[in-house]
Amino acid sequence: MLSTQNKQVNGSSEPGVPCQNEGELVIEWLNREGHLILRTHQKVDADAAFSAALMMEFRKGLKLDLKPASFATNEPNVLAVDMLEGSNAVKGLAQGSAFGLLVEVLSVENDLIERCFGLWAAQLNLTDSAKQCNDRVVLADLVRAWHSVNLSDKTIVNRARELIRGKLRAERARLNRQRNSEYVPIISKVALVVDKRIDRTTLFKRGAKAIVQESDCGQCIHLSRHVMNTGHDLRELKNSLPASWFIHPQGFLAAYGTPKAPRDPTESGMPIEALFILVQNWIGGI
């Protein structure tokens, strides 16, 4: 059950808007029993497409209904997003976009929503209110591109839903990698990672200057930006690593196999223990 207990959910006080608290309307609708229908307008724009996609991903099984923007939605089991007409329509004028409203409402109970889509909402709050936005992720351009290749409204919503779903899954995976990284040993400023998915930023924040890693796709060394800012990089290890290793021209990565080009780590020419000691000695000497 959604509630507004822990966070203020704003509504619209604009004249002519039927619902004086759109956030509460959305919460009440989500808490309804029975068959729920989500409606948005035809010829979907970014706000309509991503608002519908977010709601359909948040509440599985919703039926999508497309109507003209002037259509009035009054049925209690139907919620119209990015639409103005009717008692069960929400536009998100107080926030700037319907997507901004929905992110605000849904993040009350699930902060992953805000973590994933807060920046998207901030962008649509501007662009959907005809305000200038210089954000690099231009959601409106995506929808225009999909329209230009003659995708249907429902297909566009499904494409937007794929992005929503992928963003959520990627963020969950990142949080899991962060948790894994809290328990990785760091010895002499070098972290050792074997067959574990980790978050390099977390390890560098914990004090690692380098990460030595082995997985089923190979072995690698990652160097922290802090070390590189001192003028050192992994090109200094060229004569210490087997000739079959790849060292990035900018010196932040050395690898025998990567997810993009996997190789058998047992054929790297250097056991993981020896690689770990090599990097420890190098870090200790710079």
How much of the chain, in percent, has pLDDT values that exceed 90?
A: 79
What does pLDDT average to over the chain?
A: 90
Domain boundaries defined on the chain:
22-176, 186-284
What is the C-alpha separation between 12 and 281, in angstroms, rounded?
A: 62
Average pLDDT over residues 55-74: 96
Residue 196 has pLDDT above 90, yes or no: yes
pLDDT-based confidence at 126, cuts 50/70/90? low
> For residues 236-247, b (16+ Cβ closer than 10 Å) or e, as one string?
ebeeebeeebbb
Residues 215-267: tens digit of each pLDDT: 999 999 999 999 999 999 999 999 999 999 999 999 999 999 999 999 999 99
Residue 119 has pLDDT above 80, yes or no: no
**3-state SS assignment for residue 164:** helix
Give the pLDDT of residue 122.
80
Whole-number pLDDT of residue 228: 97
The 10s digit of each residue's pLDDT in 32-49 is 999 999 999 999 999 999
pLDDT band at 117 (very low <50, low <70, confident <90, very high): confident
What DSSP designation does 248 have? -
**Phi, psi values for residue 218, rounded to 5°:** 140, -160
Residue 126 vs residue 76, higher pLDDT: 76
Q: What is the pLDDT of residue 145?
A: 95
CB contact at 8 A, 56 and 157 = yes
CA distances in angstroms from 192 to 47, 54, 200, 213, listed in the order given? 45, 39, 11, 6
Instruction: Output the pTM of the full model.
Output: 0.78
What integer pLDDT is reported at residue 157 of this predicted model? 98
What letter does residue 237 receive in the DSSP assignment? G
The pLDDT, as a whole number, for residue 16 is 42
Which positions ≥6 away from 124 have C-beta within 8 Å? 46, 47, 50, 96, 97, 99, 100, 139
Instruction: Report how far apart, in Å, the C-alpha atoms of 26 and of each of 55, 78, 104, 151, 217 are.
Output: 10, 10, 11, 29, 47
Say if residue 7's pLDDT is above 50: no
How do residues 133-150 score in pLDDT, each as one tens digit?
555 457 888 999 999 999
Q: What is the pLDDT of residue 14?
A: 44
pLDDT category at 12 given cuts 50, 70, 90 is very low
The pLDDT of residue 31: 93
SS3 call for 231: coil
Cβ atoms of 110 and 66 within 8 Å: the answer is: no
Task: Give strand pairing partners of 193.
Answer: 213
Q: How far is CA 264 from the centre of its chain?
A: 31
Mean pLDDT over 66-90 rounds to 97
CA 204 – CA 226 distance, rounded (Å): 9
CATH number attached to the domain at 186-284: 3.10.310
Q: For the purposes of burial, counting CB atoms within 10 Å of the CB of 188, is it exposed (0-12), middle (13-18) or buried (19 or more)?
A: middle
Give the per-residue pLDDT at 120: 78
